[in-house]
Amino acid sequence: MAQPFLLHTYPNGLRLITVPMHDTGTVTVQIMVGTGSRYETPEINGISHFLEHMMFKGTTKRPGAMDISHELDSIGAEYNAFTHKEYTGYYAKSSADHFEQILDVVTDIFLNSKLVPEEVEKERGVIIQEINMYLDSPRHHVGNLFEEAMFTDSSLGWDIAGPKEVIAKLPTDQLPEYFRTHYFAENTIVGVAGKIDPVKVKETVWQYFSEMRRGERHNFLPYQIKQTEKRVKIFNKATDQTHLIVGVPGYGLNDERRHAANVLGIVLGAGMSSRLFTEVREKRGLAYYVSGGASCYSDVGDFTVSAGVENVKLVEALTVIMEQLKRLRNEPVSEAEVRKAKDFMRGHMLLGLETSDAFTSYYTDQLLYREKIVTPEEAIVNWGKVTVAEMQAVANDLLRPERLNLALVGPFQPDDQTIYSSLKL
């Protein structure tokens, strides 16, 4: 099943997690740093993402972006970076014989990027166009709107890319300052998975990071749910389909109730035989896509339903979705549905952990914020222990009318009362 992992902490606080995989010919190197848009202030919202872009613009050893991309393309590597609300990651994946080369490149990017002012100005325009692209994509935009509604009193509700007006005016000197504040050894994790020798990896990684400076982590305020009435955000846009997300705050990564919430979410909206897919699409033809489930940040999460529905059938679709949420809260889930959901989760996890990059992400994502790393085997055991009674308790705790949030993008006015009146939980 899953591969064993090895965790090592170096003298400067840098952590290394390795996952040897003997049945693969690839290797993935991923470097994670514990900062993202949740660590920002309104004046610099989007800087984590901006900095991630700039890290590919050149180092002393590889002066330009093309030097980096040409070297990695020349060995057929896959590479990229990503910004989350709570972390930022940089990675490359290649054939196992190129391990030292991709480690050299990714480490060089992470430690030695030059952040040249001229490149900052060029990339500023690129990021503004990226934001425009997201705004033009209703399915993406509705996700940002939903978190803005639910986490309205927290930086969790802010867009990772930031507002265009902030990006347009962000001072160039803020980028190296932000780098110095958050990119240090104790706040960094190196993950390596694939066809590797863990001992050699440990020695090689230390050669690169032995002089990385230490620092002090900046903690955000833990999120506290204070919502006392439903919230609705409607973005009026001429679309052929209305995209919506409706849901409530959920549990964080270290809350044991998340296991029951995960199983509950599978019953509700995972797969083409789920309750939502059956009722919304198969029986009524109200949506092309509809799904639901639970997800987590470090200290809070969500329990949501997403759908794309025909404009004229929005209220009908919302009514059916609300009926399914009420059913979940008011009626115990059958033992047969619970067994099916657990088997679904087990199979889905095993299928998703067949590659070196999947294992690297699985472990590094956890290491930053979980109190204890949960192996795939342990996760399956945790799901297996969930009872119908626990799921019922979680449904009653989560699905409270006063904690309901709705975001939608479509040809509707923000004060449309037919939409508000259909949100009855």
The DSSP H or E segment spanning 174 is helix 174-182
Would strands 88-95 and 78-83 be described as parallel, antiparallel, or unpaired?
A: antiparallel
H, E, C per residue of 31-99: EEECCCHHHCCHHHCCHHHHHHHHCCCCECCCCCHHHHHHHHHCCCCEEEEEECCCCEEEEEEEEHHHH
Q: Which residues are catalytic?
A: 52
Task: Supply 284's token pair.
Answer: 């009524």
The DSSP H or E segment spanning 376 is helix 376-385
**152, amino acid identity:** T
- Decide: 167 and 131 in contact? Cβ < 8 Å: yes
In the DSSP assignment, the letter for residue 423 is -
Task: Supply 264's token pair.
Answer: 């509950």
- Decide: 196 and 27 in contact? Cβ < 8 Å: yes
